[in-house]
Every structure is written in structure tokens, then in C-alpha cells.
Structure 1
């Protein structure tokens, strides 16, 4: 299906085309930013699914981070700043439901001893005394940068209260007796769970109303080719809608299609020395039917540095009898990570089959039940939980080193990330993978900056920008109200 106010493929248009392959959170947020800054450019999103923001983006458990996941301070504070940036962006464009209507304020359980995970004993990767000093510095960063930020306070509370160390009697009701003995310390944080489904729905409707964004869904891009022209490079995009083959030429191109970034880079002669990896992840969705008195046992909880299991409350529904049905997303690292594949080759058949949902409900349940069984060993609230849904999506394993990607390896790239997933490959070609949902705004801002540099180097496009800026002033002023 096509949503557009601009000329279609192969139709005449005096506006340069900026193509974005991939309509997930990264591609969609980038398109919104580009459209606001450059309303005279025709932005075209190619999305292989029936709707944008309906693939991996919609399956995100919504767990944000102020950096408490990480051992390295630079990684932690980058996450904190981007959680704030992403939240402010959603607020600025009028997203009504940013956070889930469920218990909030995160709980971080730091292990000092090994934990039993299904049939294995998993040792901590880092000791609590290695992590706790970072927690204090994360709080210092918030105090320094957000103490007088009213938006921060509105969403997360006072900056000096983003984390506090709990006493044993404060956290024992969150976790099972079996886990309790191995806990070194436990922190409460100001983190919340995003309402991922609500955010995706809002952005999906918002972007369709933006004047200069074209969206082609069920459009499977098969090949991209760089074309050298007198005024610089352009890109030929070959795609099919299932009934016919189509071609479009774009002056600028962003690869925002996780599973195929490596393949397209190779087609364009921009292959990396070592490919980034796609990791197929499984998310178990569970429900608890509990009395209201037990609601305080449910929080976004993360057992850190070893077991790597978490629950992220998605929503709570109060029933007429006073009981509450709470839905949570649940992960368990030793079972959540299904398989990993390099992204410069077609996905393995089994990977693609699972990702596209072409396995039976019973097969999904069989794969996901160990996640619930393992998490029950940690979280007290899951004792009577039922598995109600299983979701699959791709995450990116950064850098593609191949020998340091294991969460349980202290040297793993997971514990020290400085790559948000965007890069400028030159000649109007960009990559936007948004390694985390919260990085999507940061990446979009980088894309705007890179495009500005491209335009400043092209006098024809620069003249077009000057020519059209006056007629778009009113549109720019009213842009944030595009959905009204």
C-alpha cells in the first residue's frame, strides 16, 4: 500500500528523493526529522511489512535505560542522555501514551554469587563492588545535567533521585527466596517501561500525515545500485510489491533495514571488513491474575551481571472483582537469544521462518516456556504467571568481531557500546540501525547534520532550498500539529 502526497515512482517531480529502506523506529523517526528540516525534499520509506513500525520495533519490551545496564560510564551516560532525548521527542510531537500503564520504577538486582538458571549455574560477570560505583556516577551525571530540567522532572522525577540502594527488607518481596541468598545489592531506579505498542501506533498515524513523506508498504527491496552522474551519485532502488517489479532513483539513501544492511552494503561496494550480526531474539509475554494487594511485587526488574533476566510490565487491567491482570514481557538471556547470523548474507532458512512467524503456535510455546520457567526462579510475581504470547525480532550485535559478543564474557562488546548504529558512508549514503530504540532520535539528528553537509556541497540543491523556504515557513510552524 502507498501513502503519499508526492509523485509516484517514475513520475515527474522537481524534488530530490531521499529514500529510506526500512520503516521501523529508526527509519520512521529519521523521516520525521528530515521532513521537518527539509520540507521541500521528497522522503520515501520502503517497508517490507504490511505496516511501518510493525516488525521488530513493535516487539520491543520497552525497557529504557539510564545506563544501569552497563559497566562502562561512557556507555551508561550515553544511554541516559538518549532516553531523555527520546522521551522529550515523543512529548514534543504530542504522543499521549509514552509510558506503559503499569507499575514503574526499575529494580536492579546485582548478584554476588552464582544463580541457578534452569539446569545451569551462572556466575556474575561483574561483582557488585565493580558496578555500584558506576551507579553513583550515573546519578551524578543526572544531577549535573538535569537538576533544572523541568521536562526531566515531569517524566522521571528529581534528578538526584534516579537511583537509591535498597535495604534487604525492601527488595525481598520482589525476588524468590532461592535467588535472595546470592544477591549482593539491589537498587531502585527512576526508569520506566515505554508503551511500545502505543508509541508505534502514534508514530504510524503521525507520519502518514506529514506532507513530504511517501510510504510504500509490502515493498520488498531486492537490489540497490549506485549510479554515477555529472552532479554526483544517485541510487537506483529495485523493489517488488508482490505483483510487479518497480524501480526508483534517489539522490540520498539510508539503509535502516536491520537484517539486510550488510547485503545492501555489499551490493554498493561498501562492505565492512567484518559484518555486523543479526541476532534472533525471543520475547515471552506472560500474564498474572493477582489480587490488588500483590501489585507492589511487580516492577520492571532486571537481574544483572550474569543471569541477565528481566520483566517489563506492559499494562495492568483492573477487573470488577478487584483483581488485576498484569501483562509483562519476559526475557532470559540463555534462552532468549535464539541464533546469530552475519548480516552480509541472506538469513538462514530457519531464522527467516521463525522471524516471519511461519512456525506453529505449539512450536513457539515449546521454545518460550523455558524463559518463563527460568524467570520464575528469579521473580516472585511469576509464580502463577501464564505464557500468553511469543514474539520474535532481530537485534544487532555491534561491530561483528565474532569472538566478543557473548553477554557472559566481561570483554564482550555488549558491556561497552560506543556505536549507536548510524554511519555516513559518503556520497549521500547512510546507515541507520539504531542499536537501541532510544538511539533513534540521536541517529535522526545525525542524519539531518550529514544531509546538511551534503546539501551545502551541492549548489543546485542549495538554491532549491532557498527558493522553497519561504513557501514552507507556515508549514514548518504548524508541523508539530500535523496530526490534528
Structure 2
């Protein structure tokens, strides 16, 4: 059931109010951290959907994120540390299904030559010689930091077994014959795919039980305004209540923009422009089903072809049928078709972007758009020969440094290859941005915002 709690917004109260615009993973995890650390404040979460954690958060494929697909060590270890942090947080609050009930253990394919994708030649951005030394440094980082960490070992195994290079006779079963000659090297890692749907479902129930969190769903925030006070600034939040078709407002002392597509738009309303342009990237995720024999289940793994604009599959769950057949559901991306469009984030979304994001296009049109993803991915992964396209999802990815060619996946200078910005800022006067550029950054960002707010709350 959608959850919404309204009250007399003009009542007097000594309890500080902290508003969070956006009830995805970033906003929800932040709300939980604030509620735990400051039980004497009221936290209001606003979400335009019928349920929190039902937008872009649910289309995240839960891709392995120990950093092996990055060339820059700082980016890679930041991913590793935040994967561990995110996993420990979920474990601490009792999430029962952190990882997908499907084959695990990441496979990284490092390309040395260009590959043909849907008739086009796509070359690797970095050679295996540039990436492989980073793999050993990633493992060294884990050994130094987590060798005495029992929680790490419980979830991911011994740090000194974080990755190993495979021989061709070990990885040949994962890839198509036409791809093999272009492979430079292949690694197996201890990474696991997160059960994103299960995590969102658990957090949705967990957050509703926290007494000082008030959730407003079907609440389309339309305007944010600063209200100067004698010693501080308050924020007036106006939203359309889609249940009653009424406009409502409230005032808060603290405000976080965790609303992805509208962060730039609201920053502009509040007179807080960014010094560099930021883009919303509409991404498409294909969901595939693969019938697999029990003795071939190990051919389906989280597989990432690197580096640059190639392809990825991420097993979501396996279903055993009464007749013994196994159906594996996988998320799949193909960079040359997955990235649908980029839009500057300081304006309202174009109609075609919004229609895809909100599911207003026909199932037939969605399937037609996503079919090339499966066709292209079949040129990489042996397990997809009989796969069927069963669902298509759209969501937004934030591109924080999207100026000029830095958006281009083929460019070695692209922000895609160096992502240590977590999407978290304090803009002053109790105003924060929490975009969580990756799902795993949500705990890091929540801790940062809670710490910044603490200086003003104490």
C-alpha cells in the first residue's frame, strides 16, 4: 500500500524539520541515518511515485562494484570500500537478501582488439596492459584493509582471493567463438551481484517503521523557495498531492535534493547553479530469461566486457521449475544502445524522455527499442544463444562532469573511467545534494550529510 502521512503543517513545534526530496535509495538511506543519529528531529521524505524506492532505484542491475572495471586506482578502491560499507549497513539493519539468488563471482573480460557490435567496430578504450596492474593493486588494497575483517570474509571470502587470472580453457565457456581472438585476458573476481529489487523492498518496509520519518508519496514537488530568517534560512516546499489534486506546502530548516532528474532544476530555483554542466542520462535495461541445464549453470555469471562501450550481463535470480528446468533471469546492457539520450538537468525533462521514464510508451515500442541490446550481447556471451527478452526498464544515470567530450564512453578522459565523485554536496545554509552516483555510495553520502547537519543541529 502507498504510504503517506499528512499533518497540520502550520502547527508550532520545537522539533527541527529535515526534508528530503526523492525517496530512492539515496534519499531513503539518508533518512534512516538521520533518524538513527538525531531521533529528536522530524524527517520528511517526498516522492512523486506511488511507493518510495520504485523509480530508477529498482532498475539498477546490481552490477559487481569492487572497481575492477576502472583504470584509476582511486576510483576502484573507492568503489571497493563503499561496496563493503553498503553491504555492512544492509547486514546491520537485517536485510535478508543482500545478494541475488543466482550464480555469483564476477568475470572481467579485458579486450585487446576491436569487436563487431551490430555491424559497427567498437574498440577498447584502454588496453589490458593498462588495466591489469590495477587489478593487483585492488587486491592489495583489500588485503591491507580487510584481512582482519570477519564481516568482509563472511560476504566476500578471503581478501587475498579477491581476483585471479583465468586461462583460456577456463573462460572459453563464457564467450562466443568470434570474440575469443579479441580477448587480451580474463579474470574471475569475488564480486557479487546485489539483489536490488529485494533490497528496495526491504528498505521500503524498514523505513516506514521508523517513528520520526514521515513519508509523502504521490507528492510531486513543484517549487522550492528560500525563506530568510534572522539567523538562518528556511525552505518552503510546495507540492501537488496527486491523491487529492490539492497543492500543499510545508517549511523545513534543512533540505536535501535527492531527486535525480530534478536536482539541477531545483538548484536553479534556489539560485545554486553548478559551475559545470550536469546531465541526466536516460538508460535502458534489458531483462532476459535463459533456460539452462543444471550442469551448465556455471556458464551464467556476472560478466563485464571492458574497457569502454561494450556489454554486461548480471544474473538476478534463478527459478527451478517442477520439471527440473532452470530459468535464469539476467539484466543486460549494451553501451552503444543502452544510453538513450542526455539532457541538461537544469530544465524540465523533454516529453519523450519523461514518457519512457514513467512507462507511458507501449510494451511493443519498448521491446523494439531493447531488442538490439539482446542481439548485440549475443555477440559476446555464449549463454545468450537461446535467451528471450522479457522486460525493459528505463532509468536515469547522473553524468556529473558532462561537458563536451567527457560524456563520450570512447574518450579516455571521460568521467565514466574516473568516478570518485559520490554525488554529495553541502551547498550551505542547510541545503544538501545527495545524488548517490552509484547505489553503493548511498551510505557514504548519508554519513556525510548527517555529519554536516550535525554541526548545525548541535
Question: What's the TM-score, normalizing by structure 1?
Answer: 0.93
In 2, Cα distance between the equivalents of 1:368 and 1:189? 29
Give the secondary-structure state (helix, strand or coil) at the position aligned to 1:404.
helix
SS in 2 for 1:341: strand
Residue of 402, 419, 422 corresponding to 1:420: 422
Query: What is the CA–CA distance in structure 1 between the aligned matches of 2:237 and 2:374, rounded to whole Å?
Result: 43
SS at match of 2:304: strand
2:431 is aligned to 429
2:23 corresponds to: 23
Q: 2 CA distance for matches of 1:205 and 1:402?
A: 42
Partner of 1:213: 213
1:10 and 1:247 in contact (8 A); partners too = no
User: 3-state DSSP class of the match of 1:172?
Assistant: helix
**In the aligned structure 2, how far is the partner of 1:3 from the partner of 1:32?**
17
Deviation at residue 447 of structure 1 after TM alignment? 0.5
Gaps of 5+ in 2: none
User: What's the CA shift for 1:49?
Assistant: 0.3
Secondary structure of the residue aligned to 2:405 is coil
**1:115–1:307 contact (8 Å) kept in structure 2:** no
Superposition pairs of residues 137-216 of structure 1, within 5 angstroms: 137-216=137-216
- Say if 1:2 and 1:214, in contact at 8 Å, map to a contact too: no
Tell whether 2:361 aligns with 1:369.
no
Give the SS at the match of 2:204: helix
Instruction: Determine the structure 2 residue equivalent to 1:118.
Output: 118
Q: In the alignment, what sits opposite 2:134?
A: 134
Residue in 2 aligned with 1:477? none
Alpha carbons 1:7, 1:13 under 8 Å: kept: no
Where do 1:23-102 residues align within 5 Å? Answer: 23-102=23-102
Give the structure 2 partner of residue 444 of structure 1. 446
Which of 339, 357, 360 pairs up with 2:359? 357
Corresponding pairs, count: 455
Cα displacement string for residues 386-426 of structure 1 (whole angstroms, at most 9, x for unaligned residues): 00000000000112323211111111111112210000000
Aligned partner of 2:105 in structure 1 is: 105
2:388 equivalent in structure 1 = 386
Tell me the equivalent position of 1:255.
257
Whether contact under 8 Å (2:285, 2:393) holds in the other structure is yes
What secondary structure does 1:148 align onto? coil
Which of 409, 412, 436 aligns to 1:410? It is 412
The answer on whether the counterparts of 2:3 and 2:51 sit within 8 Å (CA) in structure 1 is no
Cα deviation per residue 1:414-462 (whole Å; 9 max; x = unaligned)?
Answer: 1112210000000000000000000000000001110011224xxxxxx
Measured in 2, the distance between the counterparts of 1:79 and 1:194 equals 14
CA contact (8 A) 1:125 1:410 kept: yes
CA distance in 1, matches of 2:182, 2:8: 61
2:350 to 348, 351, 359: 348
1:400 aligns with 2:402: yes
* TM-score (ref. length: structure 2): 0.98
Question: Partner of 1:63: helix, strand, or coil?
Answer: coil
8 Å Cα contact 1:117/1:307 also seen in 2:
no
Deviation at 1:289, TM superposition (A): 1.2
Distance 1:2 1:31 in 2: 15
Of 316, 338, 341, the residue aligned with 2:340 is 338
Structure 1 residues not aligned, in runs of 5+ = 457-484
Cα 1:55–1:8, aligned 2, differ >3 Å: closer, same or farther? farther
Task: Give the deviation of 1:2 after TM superposition.
Answer: 4.6
